Structure 1
Amino acid sequence: MNTTGRYQLIMAADRVPPADSDDCIDHVDAGLSALRAYTDLQAGTWLAADTGKTADSADAAHAAALLRSLCHHQPAAFPEGWFDDYLAVNRRLAATATCLAAEQAVIWVHGHRLQLLPGVMRRLRPDLGIVMQLHSAFPPAELFVRLPEHRELLSGLLGADVVVLPYRRAAANLLDLAGRVHGLPVRDGQIAVGNRRVRVLAYPMPADAAGIRRLARSGPVRARAQQIRAALRVAGPVLLSVAGWDPAEAVEQRLVAFDRFLAEHRPAPATIALLHVGYGEPRTPAEHDHRERVDRLIAKVNGTYAEVGQPVVHYLRAAPDRRELTSLYLACDALLATPDHHGTAAQAHEFVAAHGSAPVVVSELTCDGADLPGAVVVNPHDTAAFSAAIARVAGVSASVPLAGSAGTAPAPEAWARRLMAVVRARAAAPAQANRRRQPATAGSTRPAGHPAPHDNPRKIDAR
């Protein structure tokens, strides 16, 4: 029990995740929930931004949604004065964190809503170790600098000792923004800021595969899976697609490829189907437009190939918790997980964990398949190749390839321990680290002849 009111670790996020990860409805929520036990062991606490209790916090939440849209290449119109409310929420949270943090504690910041928090905390509490984690994309520099406040946002991020992004291209975009656009010295995946070096890592939060395996063995979950499968009334393979409304999920490309597959192979009625689950609600005009296009595509495919009482695309708008999601995994035979330019292979790992091994199609734009041996890797924009991949995992054109985990992804707690070791090592001696730094060149994201340290997100060190 903490009797001092000071904590060694503060998890700062837009919300406190559920105590039971089975109640979570998305990968990030589930990952954060899995870290609750680790936070307790580290004498830590959770600190959540206000969720709409004041006008400025509601405006800041809207601003965070717009930032997320910008990072996902969606059009985003920022209203006048948005930054003032956004800054106010970050400052308010920083004031609370300052009072809660013990000497040389670590503050771990999550999400677009708190991008300014590391910079504010650096000024208030320079003794703290700070890690900033964005669980979704970071855009190309040319897109980010359209925001008049891009300097302030970058300064906020670079208040951290370590900035963590979900994949290599996102990390490269941040390094490019700092070096080429803002002229900061960049070398070996690190950005020199005054007498500090900020480490930029591609180190995605791992899927909670153990939690999915546990649920997959649960009697109620398995019974629900049988109920779903019986309701589908499909004798052959059922392909599963689960996605939100971000156009970058490439759901339209999945549907177009499935349409082509049906046109080319003409499977008999009720011998194959696609179950698409659209979760959450659209949050931006681009997402509303995307949902309308998905609706029309599904209607087109079913209008062309369905029979009375037997659609070929089963469509749910739902927000499944982890129990229901695992039931959906078990009820289906293959997974299409093909985001366009953001995301990780977490969903594919979960599907494989539920089945032991299973047919999975992933996107070459966001996953190289190295940690999912046997996965079919496609460009979701190559309709012919995508259609052929669907034929493969459906067992139409060849033997069905089965994906399995390479076993290299750490469990969430082990993943967190590795990251915290990097943060604490860098926070302990920033000046010494700076003295060891070789001269860096502004605008250079890596020295010639040396690989970027974030090329392998599974292996990180404390440099």
Structure 2
Amino acid sequence: MPKARGVPGAQGGLAGALNASLKSNGGIWFGWSGQEAEQFTGSINYVRSDEGVTTATIDLEHQDVEEYYNGYANSTLWPLLHYRIDLTKYEREFAKGYERVNERFAQSVLPLVEPDDQVWVHDYHLLPLGERLRSHGLNNKIGFFLHTPWPPTNLFVSLPYHERLVRSMLHYDLLGFQCDAWLDSFLHYCWKELGATVDYDTGAITFEGRTTIARAYPIGIDFEFFTAKGNTGEARQAQQRLLSSTRHRAAMIGVDRLDYSKGLPERMEGIARFFDRYPEKARDLVFIQIAPPSREDIGSYQDIRATLEQKAGQINGARSDVDVVPIRYVNRGYSQEELYGFYRGSRIGLVTPLRDGMNLVAKEYVAAQDPDDPGVLILSRFAGAAQQLDCDGEGALLINPHSADDISHNIHIALEMPLAERKARFDKMITSVREENVQRWAENFIGDLASTGS
């Protein structure tokens, strides 16, 4: 099978998913190094990992980082794709930097692509890269996968030159989305704004003589790799640390990047409502929020951190006693082994993004549970994972993350849920998490890409 050339655009859950795919299929992972250079040269840095994955990266200039990464990618596209047009910044120089850097990526990766290779581009940082590669004569199969949501048409048209961006995406052979909701929004845009011929049954989009296939490919976790973490001493120690420190109180956990899309202030409002409604539960439940910082150079991220710290402090100030603190807010990251232990020791997993492409934390929480005494997953209905983990109403407890009352009500349900029901819900969810893993996701996408026309 020809190698897949991965061109990822972000870190986090994407990094782990792509690494697992490349270990299975072989290939080169190409992208930005995360480092700045005084002047762009296009020279490539090679790294070969222990698992046989070759990484090829380039350095960008400071102006590139400001306009392309901090600017258009994370101050324009990211908020827009998550329906936050109130936070979206429309700056001409950001757009110019985005196009310039995508052209630089195209020119840098071209010499690495062999005739039989498939090229798999990832995420919103690189939406026009396929068109740039085509302009340089590349005729290989090129696929693209979007890890974020795709907003409704009436929101996306607020982006200047939105047609130009989507037209460039239709130079890919295959477009992948996390779930049917995001796919349907994209197909609707192509039909309404471009006048393309759209076959909703097959996902075929025909425009200006070219056909692109768009489909949903729900991403999963590397189930075997992640669950093996539970056998490590680090995971067992982390679980014991959590259980001993909670002093027989039930633990409820949230693990999120510090990002406004994750609904963290709204989550705190829901928890505050719960403790207001059930004040005696402050001695029965402790909430642990792990929120490592991200994109600290962007003002909206500084604001969310200040807001979250303030809300956590207010709840603790109102509900703490000399021996009880209802909320533990931790502004740092942990290893996968430690997170596994924390998940397993928590009676409730609270995953409440306002909008999320998939959310692999929800799947990791389920994977880490003890089948004989599993916890309960409370999940936002606006996360892509809800389509799989709802399990026809018999899996996760789905909530509206904007509603403090809904969050509070479901925390109470989860806390009081009998063991038999917890086990029944877990059995439904674990089947999905085990079977719909990252390997199947990659195999499905790469297999479909191989069968598309070029």
Same fold (TM over 0.5): yes
2:68 aligns with one of 54, 60, 70:
60
Q: Deviations over 1:301-337 (max 9, x none)?
A: 1111111242101110012232222122123221011
Residue 107 of structure 1, CA deviation: 0.5
RMSD: 2.4
- Whole-Å separation in 2 of the counterparts to 1:49 and 1:346: 23
- Whole-Å separation in 2 of the counterparts to 1:206 and 1:83: 32
Pairing 1:180–2:212 present: no
- Whole-Å separation in 2 of the counterparts to 1:309 and 1:406: 36
Secondary structure in 2 aligned to 1:344?
coil
Please identify runs of 4+ aligned residues in structure 1 that moved more than 4 A.
396-400
Is the 8 Å Cα contact of residues 205 and 415 (structure 1) preserved in structure 2?
yes
1:37 aligns with one of 2, 23, 41:
23
**Cα 1:400/1:234, change in 2 over 3 Å:** farther
**Residue number in structure 1 paired with 2:401:** 380
2:7 aligns with one of 12, 34, 44:
12
- Whole-Å separation in 2 of the counterparts to 1:302 and 1:414: 43
Amino acid at match of 1:253: E
Secondary structure in 2 aligned to 1:381?
coil
2:256 aligns with one of 230, 236, 243:
243
**Residue number in structure 2 paired with 1:448:** none
Is the 8 Å Cα contact of residues 234 and 271 (structure 1) preserved in structure 2?
no
**Residue number in structure 2 paired with 1:363:** 380
Residue 95 of structure 1, CA deviation: 1.9
Amino acid at match of 2:142: I
Secondary structure in 1 aligned to 2:91?
coil
Amino acid at match of 1:102: E
1:416 aligns with one of 433, 442, 452:
442
Secondary structure in 2 aligned to 1:407?
helix
Pairing 1:71–2:88 present: no
**Residue number in structure 2 paired with 1:324:** 338
Residue correspondence of structure 1 range 148-167 to structure 2 within 5 A: 148-167=160-179
**Cα 1:333/1:386, change in 2 over 3 Å:** same
Amino acid at match of 2:158: R
Residue 132 of structure 1, CA deviation: 0.8
Pairing 1:407–2:431 present: yes
- Whole-Å separation in 2 of the counterparts to 1:422 and 1:170: 19
Is the 8 Å Cα contact of residues 186 and 192 (structure 1) preserved in structure 2?
yes
Residue 252 of structure 1, CA deviation: 2.3
Is the 8 Å Cα contact of residues 56 and 88 (structure 1) preserved in structure 2?
no
Residue 256 of structure 1, CA deviation: 1.8
- Whole-Å separation in 1 of the counterparts to 2:116 and 2:187: 27
1:121 aligns with one of 133, 136, 144:
133
Amino acid at match of 1:280: P
Residue 8 of structure 1, CA deviation: 3.4
Name stretches of at least 5 consecutive residues in structure 2 with no aligned partner. Answer: 38-60
- Whole-Å separation in 2 of the counterparts to 1:130 and 1:336: 37
**Residue number in structure 2 paired with 1:136:** 148
- Whole-Å separation in 2 of the counterparts to 1:225 and 1:124: 53
Amino acid at match of 2:378: V
Is the 8 Å Cα contact of residues 9 and 101 (structure 1) preserved in structure 2?
no
**Cα 1:397/1:329, change in 2 over 3 Å:** closer
Residue 191 of structure 1, CA deviation: 1.4
Name stretches of at least 5 consecutive residues in structure 1 with no aligned partner. Answer: 1-6, 18-25, 431-463
Pairing 1:106–2:118 present: yes
- Whole-Å separation in 2 of the counterparts to 1:169 and 1:396: 30
Amino acid at match of 1:314: R
**Residue number in structure 2 paired with 1:226:** 240
**Residue number in structure 1 paired with 2:30:** 47
- Whole-Å separation in 2 of the counterparts to 1:182 and 1:410: 34
Is the 8 Å Cα contact of residues 207 and 346 (structure 1) preserved in structure 2?
yes
Residue 268 of structure 1, CA deviation: 5.4
**Residue number in structure 2 paired with 1:456:** none
Is the 8 Å Cα contact of residues 379 and 398 (structure 2) preserved in structure 1?
yes
Secondary structure in 2 aligned to 1:191?
strand
- Whole-Å separation in 1 of the counterparts to 2:368 and 2:220: 15
Amino acid at match of 2:209: N
**Residue number in structure 1 paired with 2:48:** none
Pairing 1:392–2:413 present: yes
2:318 aligns with one of 300, 304, 314:
304
Q: Deviations over 1:166-209 (max 9, x none)?
A: 22222122112211112222222321123322112221221222
**Residue number in structure 1 paired with 2:181:** 169
- Whole-Å separation in 1 of the counterparts to 2:271 and 2:418: 14
Is the 8 Å Cα contact of residues 240 and 335 (structure 1) preserved in structure 2?
yes
Residue 245 of structure 1, CA deviation: 2.9
Residue 239 of structure 1, CA deviation: 0.4
What percentage of aligned pairs have identical amino acids?
20
**Cα 1:89/1:39, change in 2 over 3 Å:** farther
Is the 8 Å Cα contact of residues 348 and 360 (structure 1) preserved in structure 2?
yes
Amino acid at match of 2:62: A
Amino acid at match of 2:431: G
Secondary structure in 2 aligned to 1:267?
helix
Residue 406 of structure 1, CA deviation: 5.0
Amino acid at match of 1:55: H
Amino acid at match of 2:17: G
- Whole-Å separation in 1 of the counterparts to 2:74 and 2:113: 28
Secondary structure in 2 aligned to 1:274?
strand
